Structure formats: C-alpha cells, structure tokens
Amino acid sequence: MRNSVALGLLVAASLTGSTALAQQPRWWSPVVADSAMVVSAKSEATRVGVEILRRGGNAVDAAIAVHFALAVALPSAGNLGGGGFLVVRTADGAVHTYDYRETAPLAASEDMYLDESGEVRPGHPSWFGALAVATPGSVAGMKLVHERHATLPWAELIEPAIELAERGFPVDPYALRLIAGKVDDIRRFPGAAAILLSDGQLPAVGDTLRQPELARTLQLIATQGPAVFYHGEIADSIVGAMARRGGLVTHEDLRRYRAVERPPITFDYRGYTVHSMGPPSSGGITLKLILEQLETIDLGNYPYHGARAVHRIVEAMRRAFAERNVLLGDPDFVDIPESILAEPYAHELAASIDTLRATSSIDIRPELSASQATVESTETTHFSIVDPMGNAVASTTTINGSFGSLETVAGFFLNNEMDDLTVKPGVPNAYGLVQGRSNAIQPGKRPLSAMTPTIVVQNGKPRFIVGSPGGSTIITTVAQILIGTIDYGMTLAEALDGGRIHHQHLPDTIRAEPWTLSEDTVAQLESIGHRVEMRRGYSGRAQGIELGPETGLLYGRSDLRGGGEAAGF
C-alpha cells in the first residue's frame, strides 16, 4: 500500500541535513525528518514545539509549549480551562501516563440536571453556561509533567504562547468555520463574543485574532506558576464568575485539584506493543477490547472497507463500547473489574460475534437504553512529538464541546465537561453515548473520557505516535489507524487519511464518512442487519508520527480533515 516513489522523494529531501526544517505540504505527502517531529492541529503551535526542540528541549518541554500555544491558537479546543491526558515514552523505554482530567465540583449532585419529575431539564444545562463547568486540570497537568520530565524553565515554555496572544495570528478558513458554526451561541455569551467576534460580526479570513487578556493570564501563570490559577488571582476570577453566573466551582474545588500519574494500558496486537491511557480515560481499555477481538481473525485477508471486514470491525466496536459504557468510570470512585484487562475477556466477546448477521445492540448489555441523540461535537485536540533523544509524547486535551461551555474568564474558555458524566442513566450525552451509573455525577469525580493518546512500539522502538479529537469517535479513529497500518500495511499517512466508520453500541448505527463505503458494501451490510448512515462531517482529525523501522526517519502527518501541520528537522 506504500507510495514508494513519493516516500523516496521525501526521504531524499530530508537528507539535505538535520538543520533543514521540513513542513507539511497541504495535500498527500507526509513530512519526513531525521531527528525530530511535531504534529498538531495548528501550524502556530507546531512551530512553537519545533523551536523548543531546536533550543535543546525534550519532547515534554515541547509538549508543554505546544499545549499553551494551542490555548491561544485553537481556543475551540486548546485550553487553560479544560483538561486531558498525556502519554510519554522516554528514550530508555519507560512509559508514563498522566491524568489532568477535570473534576466535578464538590457541590455537584447526581440529579443536578433533572427536574422535579426526574427528566433532564431543557436548554442543555450540562452543555451551555456556568453549570456545565467542571474544575479545570490543564495547568496542573502541565506543571506535573514539567516537574517529572522537563529540562527547560517553566516560564520559557509559556513565553511563545504569550507572544502569540499579544501579536495575534491570522484567522484561517478552518478557524472561521469553527467560529461560524457556533456564532449564534457565541453571541449569547459576551466574553466569548469579545474574543471571537468584531462588533458581533464574524471575522474574515486573514484578520488578525489578538487576545491581550489571555496574554496577561499566561504571563501570570509563567511568573507565578500554577498557584496563581488554583489559589491566586486567576482562581479569584474563576470563582467570582461562577458565583455570578450560577456555576458551582469554588475556591475549595480549585485548592483540592490534583493532576496524577496513572498506570498505562499496555497490550500486544499482532507483534506490536500498544501503550495508551487508562481510566478515567476509556480510550486505552476500549481500544484494547476492539483490537483483541479482531486479533482472533486474520483481518488483512478481507478487503479493506469491504463488507466482511466492516462487519467484523463493527461487531468488535459494538461489544467494546457496551463494556465501556457499563463498567468504566473514574477509578477513584469505581471498582473496574480486573478481568477486563486480561486477553481472554476480549476473546470471549469475539466468540459471541455472528459472522453472518449483525447483532442487535439491545441484546448486548440490555441494561442500557436504546435512546438516541442528535447533538455532535468533535472539539478536542491532539498532538504528537518525537525529540532527537528518542523521547515521544502523545497528548490529547479538551474543553469538550467547541469553545466548551462558552463561559469565559480572564481571556480563556471554560469547559463543559460535566456533560461527560452520566446526566441520567440511559439518556445519551452530547455525543450520543448512553452510559451507566459507573459514570454518575459525584463530587470530585472525573468524567469518563474517550481520549486515546497512544504510542505503539515495535521491536523495542517507537513506531507510531497517534491520537485524535472526535468525542466517542476518538477511540474508533485510533483503532482504524492502527488497523490500517498493522493489518493492511499502510503508511501512517495513508491510514490517517483513509475513510472512517464508527459504532458505539448505542445508537445501533454504523456512522460512515461519505466517501468510505461503496454502495455495494452498504447494501451487503444492510442485508445482514446493519443500519448505515453517512455522517454530515468528519470523524476525527488525527495527528500522527511514524518512525521508519529500517530508515529511522520520522514521517509526520496532520489529518487532511482540518487545519493542522507537521514539521520537523
């Protein structure tokens, strides 16, 4: 499946010297470098990461700088007011995974979004406004990984983001599309409108977006550290805004917040070792369940995106998500069965797959309702980094919906992560996920997430560093990228650009990007009991790096679905 001619030309270009900067062409070719690579959803953030590596920083230094730069350049998803997960594999082979997921405020309760009759109140209170906001974790998370792994001073890593906020950056078509898609909601929130609009009107492509208030906030964090966010002036601003607007986050919530290191989810798939994130991210375990079910068959013998392959992949997704939605939650609150981590668990799920007929989701974990939702959002962001020393980072961060709750404070957007908890068992959240009581709202609890930052190792060396935004589709996006590379011999760029399908148990529907499945394939799938729908938009916008096992070269790819850039040297 490799385009050897294209790759050969790129390899030749990369060998002009390790000091030459390689940046992503806008279309089909990956970026090739021989020393270091950064791939993110915004060119401004990617270039910040490359510059940090050029100064001698390591992959974690670059990750911290990229994270803060994305808070400026991608306010729909990059953030100070949200949270996320980071996987780092150090050059000596050690793997560490960090959880800086948001937490439910101490005043939160299981029925906080329900009316007197026990129904979810109208107006999406877990999605818009201050009541949707959970205690942010991003700043604490960056400080934790800085203490554990970084080599450059904290303030030096935030300085590029401060400069970017002060001088501004041009609005590109992708950014304009994100703002235009939410403009009616943005106008309802004065702080959001002040950042993103001009006199209430949309910016034009090429306009400069400056954020002086955010620059001041970043300067405070650079000079005073996370203490100013969780105990000082910024904390006062957050708590004051919450009190005025009906939110629940208090000084006590901010004082109590801690980012933590968690055990990684590590498993083998067809000779590759996969390292991903554990709970409260569901990404690693659900990815494991999907791939280990598929390992019971020789998937590569079935035509790519043909009906037989899609049927088996969908049935594996269906079963994996059913287990996710019932069993997984914040491990500090929920006892997750140890058996789910053993390979036989997935093999037992695979044994229930009918190779000739679709299984009805209601017959798998019937305790979940068959409710459906129509609201979608994909505004998380991922970046991947490899440094010259051989360290690798995969990081996924979010404020959940596009521009989060649309509440702002001190120049940044606050998350709407409360919607990722189970607002009511059996009732779908904004991503259509029907979840159980393991993810019910409790004070201090971290919402279950689908974020799946992943590092894949082959023969003791990193091979793929990958992740994606996309809500519940994050897990299936990463799974299909690994299926494409491992089962079908694609380059990472080919697998990343390929069409995608998605199934999450409920609703009981295959969602496919419009160009992914042929009419004949859809007809065959429907004939055996599947329901197939074409998505209105994309499924994920992944960012990945492939390390050539023979050449040692780095191949960077920012998903063609939107807006990012790979660059290396």
Catalytic residues: 380
CB 387 within 8 A of CB 33: no
Residues listed for the chain: 569
| Buried/exposed 4-20: b ≥16 CB within 10 Å, e otherwise | eeebeebbeebeeeeee
| 417-421-422 Cα angle (round to 5) | 145
CB 318 within 8 A of CB 364: yes
Place of tokens 């997750």: 336
Q: Which two tokens stand for residue 29?
A: 């070719």
Residue 139's alpha-carbon distances to 87, 249, 269, 443, 445, in angstroms, are 16, 16, 34, 21, 18
Q: Which of 69, 35, 33, 31 is nearest to 49 (CA)?
A: 69
Beta bridge partners of 134: none
SS3 264: coil
- The C-alpha torsion from 417 through 420 and 425 to 427, rounded to 10°, is 100
DSSP state of 95: E
For 267, the enclosing helix (H) or strand (E) is strand 265-269
Q: Read out DSSP for 212-260?
A: HHHHHHHHHHHHH-THHHHTSHHHHHHHHHHHHHT----HHHHHH---E
CB 382 within 8 A of CB 63: no
